Amino acid sequence: MILTVTPNPCVDKTVFLDELKVGAFMRAGRYGCVPGGKGSNVSRAVHALGRPTRALVLVGGHTGAHVVDMIRNDDGVEPVPVWVQASTRTITTILEEPIHRQTAFFEPGPSVTAEEAASLLTAFSNVLPSATVVTLNGTVPDPILVDIYPQMVEMAKAAGVLTILDSHGPEFARGVEAAPYMVKPNRAETEELVGGRLDSDEACWRATEHFLERGVTLVVLSLGARGAFVATRAERLEVVPPTITEVNPVGSGDALVAGFAVGLHEGLTLEETARLGVAAGTANAMSWDIGHFSKSEVEALLPKVRVTRV
């Protein structure tokens, strides 16, 4: 089973409008909600790829209950909820359909007590034995959780479970110090952590070294439409997707993480795993809904992904 961890999930709401007017009261004819916050996107994508997954989420209030309900009943994924007193956030995206422009509003995540932080680790250690791969996704809602990822990486290592870290900011930096099995920063996240601009292939490969030197086994630097640079101590693969009509690339990194998690879960080769990850990311970018592609769409993309040994 592939376990995803989302410390800061959200009700991910999209409101569909013809045109957004600032300072006006706007009535929408249509809106939709999905569970968001990265890890739940990874679980949805793993489920779409037909593999077993559970989604551990730190949730609170009615919005938290809504997230748990959507994970179970809309996504068909078994949630592992850990409850906090404060409420889960809602992220509202306004989509102006004719011009396909997105404007998003992020509420702050809930505050978390020391007791609640401890119960998150307890829940994690209880479910860990049934996992083969754990993905640690997104930010944390409260500074009290800034060291949650290194703690989870250590616990997973002790249990012989592989970890994939996909985060940014201080929690990403702390997590990297614990040497997770795999990291998946995008360009901006890598620039933030490593420093300097990734304005050439050479700079990108040099940045992958930063993580390898800290004991990470597999570095996947995702580059949107350009695909991904994949590095281990022994190999470098440049993985390029086919050209597609991009509809919504949000969540493509999460879909890529799902593909890599499946590859690691199944013991595929690095090349097969990289191909699956990039194909899943690309399938996600081809439709509006996050992580809602089909297995056959991903399979159709697999032979079109170009892998070059560098």
Ligand X SMILES: Nc1ncnc2c1ncn2[C@@H]1O[C@H](COP(=O)(O)OP(=O)(O)OP(=O)(O)O)[C@@H](O)[C@H]1O
Binding site for Mg ion (CB under 5 A): 253
Q: Within positions 155 to 214, which residues make up the interface with ligand X, using CB under 6 A?
A: 186
Residue 61 Cβ vs ligand X, minimum distance, rounded to whole Å: 25
Q: Which does 278 bind (CB under 5 to 8 A by kind): Mg ion, ligand X, none?
A: ligand X
**What is the phi-psi region of residue 64: left when phi exceeds 0, alpha when psi lies from -120 to 50, beta otherwise?**
alpha
Beta strands 162-166 and 182-183 are parallel
282 binds, among ligand X, Mg ion, none (CB under 5 to 8 A by kind): ligand X
When asked if residue 285 is in the footprint of ligand X (CB under 6 A), the reply is: yes
Q: Shortest gap between Cβ of 202 and ligand X (angstroms)?
A: 19
Partner whose binding site includes residue 250, from ligand X, Mg ion, none (CB under 5 to 8 Å by kind): ligand X
Q: Which of 39, 60, 251, 291 binds ligand X (CB under 6 A)?
A: 251
Contacts of 254 (CB under 8 A, 6+ apart): 38, 39, 41, 42, 45, 137, 166, 284, 290, 291
Task: Give the CA-trace dihedral at 39, 45, 50, 55, to 10 degrees.
Answer: 20
The interface partner of residue 224, options being Mg ion, ligand X, none and the CB cut-off 5 to 8 Å by kind, is ligand X
Establish if 250 lies at the interface with ligand X (CB under 6 A). yes
Q: CB of residue 226 vs ligand X: minimum separation in angstroms?
A: 7
- Which SS3 state, helix, strand or coil, does residue 188 take? helix
Strand (E) or helix (H) holding 53: strand 53-60
- Of the CA atoms within 13 Å of residue 282, those in its CB half-sphere come to 27
Residue with nearest beta carbon to ligand X: 253
CB 154, min distance to ligand X, A: 25
Cβ–Cβ < 8 Å for 1, 52? yes
Q: Which residues bind ligand X (CB under 6 A)?
A: 186, 222-225, 227-228, 241, 244, 246, 249-254, 256, 278, 281-282, 285
